[in-house]
Structure 1
């Protein structure tokens, strides 16, 4: 996350697919021959090697989030979502667009990546989900559908191992789907991403154990939380009550 007044850039490029989310203020943006003024809610997209520049206007305040995605990995995401044979990265033709969905997803991803409560599974899911949404917005194609049996296999796996540390590639193997495709299909089937489904399963289990008057520290451990403080934060966020208040 950056404050655009603190750094003045010259025209430069990156080896990555660079995606910026303008979160406040206004700035000038140039990408090759493209030039415009961008403000809050605008997404800027720089393909690998694109020479670009983005600076404050008259030293005015502006802020942004930046994500740098490996183009080889993103090429595989594109291939999986579009059903195309080559995994080579396909540059995007759009240099900037206003997309509330992408802006919200970028803010959510930043929060997930910087939240110390989140484990690798949740962060990995967040990045993969954002990449899938990015490609769907910039190069819309067929939606993930018709894979309810496969996503249900992934859900049953989470049901059995909800207290364990899971990995995205583990669920992909169970469902026989790619990461981006699995997340989109799972959200269509259950309304939440797999990591959110797992968290809710943990809370459901914890509620049952709390009703049995099990000590909080033991419930936190059995449900798969790192410690009691982590358990209490997540429990209150999802139920609007602390575990002690819920138990009564």
Structure 2
């Protein structure tokens, strides 16, 4: 992900320009019109728009509203195959409530991001765009229990390290969405939820051994104390410091 941009635009016209990224756009209020290459498009309400890299476009409020409020994701050129650029020019906007909700929730998660969670969300969003842009390739391979078990072993060996499903996808010659589907079908939760829960279990043991919460957060793979505390409290019902204190009193 290259950039996130939220804006409220009133009576302003973006000049013709282009980006070297894929732009994913949702509109929260009003409506936007834009010309992409020689095609005219509009976005509002439940629609989702995607603008491909390297293609000239502009942007301006619709005459009816005169303004709009939007949220943009600027995603690396590898987000979608370059062969889909032409399809995205022809059909740039989609009325897809489920896709829009997924993008909106991704924006919400970016206030306190976890790389593995963001990776899974982006992969699911990309797969849905691929279905819109290339319907002939919309068939989804069924989940594979054997791949799910191999992925669990892969994750177990890297619980406290930085881990990406892109690495696992290359190793197993599968796509990230397929790995997520297979894992969730086999174990009932996403790889991200599994890794988070396993890290919390390790954290509990280390706290009971007397390690300070700030050190435990780093040792078990959380990127900072606040991130660790939020997940620990959600799993255990109390913050790590309080949990360690209660455990210490029980031991005494």
Normalised by the length of structure 1, the TM-score is 0.74
Shift of 1:43: 0.6
Change (3 A) 1:52 1:190: farther
Tell whether 2:63 aligns with 1:63: no
Of 163, 166, 169, which residue of structure 1 is paired with 2:163? 166
1:174-193, aligned counterparts within 5 Å?
174-193=171-190
Query: In 2, Cα distance between the equivalents of 1:40 and 1:204?
Result: 42
Query: In 1, Cα distance between the equivalents of 2:23 and 2:225?
Result: 38
Computed over aligned residues only, the root mean square deviation of the Cα atoms, in angstroms, reads 3.3
Shift of 1:21: 1.4
User: Which sections of structure 1, spanning at least 5 residues, go unmatched?
Assistant: 76-86
Change (3 A) 1:98 1:236: farther
Shift of 1:156: 1.9
Query: In 1, Cα distance between the equivalents of 2:206 and 2:11?
Result: 51
Of 10, 22, 27, which residue of structure 1 is paired with 2:15? 10
SS class of match (2:217)? helix
Judge which range, 146-155 or 170-179, deviates more.
Answer: 170-179
Of 120, 125, 133, which residue of structure 2 is paired with 1:130? 125
User: Match of 1:84?
Assistant: none
Shift of 1:71: 4.2
User: Match of 2:40?
Assistant: 34
Change (3 A) 1:97 1:228: closer
User: Match of 1:195?
Assistant: 192
User: Match of 1:118?
Assistant: 114
Query: In 2, Cα distance between the equivalents of 1:176 and 1:187?
Result: 18
Query: In 2, Cα distance between the equivalents of 1:18 and 1:226?
Result: 28
Q: How many residues align?
A: 234
Of 19, 27, 31, which residue of structure 2 is paired with 1:22? 27
Query: In 2, Cα distance between the equivalents of 1:11 and 1:215?
Result: 55
User: Which sections of structure 2, spanning at least 5 residues, go unmatched?
Assistant: 1-5, 247-252
SS class of match (1:161)? coil
Query: In 1, Cα distance between the equivalents of 2:126 and 2:230?
Result: 28
SS class of match (1:232)? helix
Change (3 A) 1:160 1:51: closer
Structure showing greater radius of gyration is 2
User: Match of 2:249?
Assistant: none
Query: In 1, Cα distance between the equivalents of 2:45 and 2:160?
Result: 39
Query: In 1, Cα distance between the equivalents of 2:189 and 2:168?
Result: 15
More strand per residue: 2
Q: Deviations over 1:220-246 (max 9, x none)?
A: 344222343331122224455322455
1:69-148, aligned counterparts within 5 Å?
69-71=75-77, 74-75=80-81, 88-89=83-84, 91-92=86-87, 93-115=90-112, 118-119=114-115, 121-140=116-135, 141-148=138-145
Q: Deviations over 1:12-69 (max 9, x none)?
A: 4444433211123323344434344x32321112334554433224674422122334
Q: Deviations over 1:133-190 (max 9, x none)?
A: 3223444512232422112211122123211211334322443323343334334444
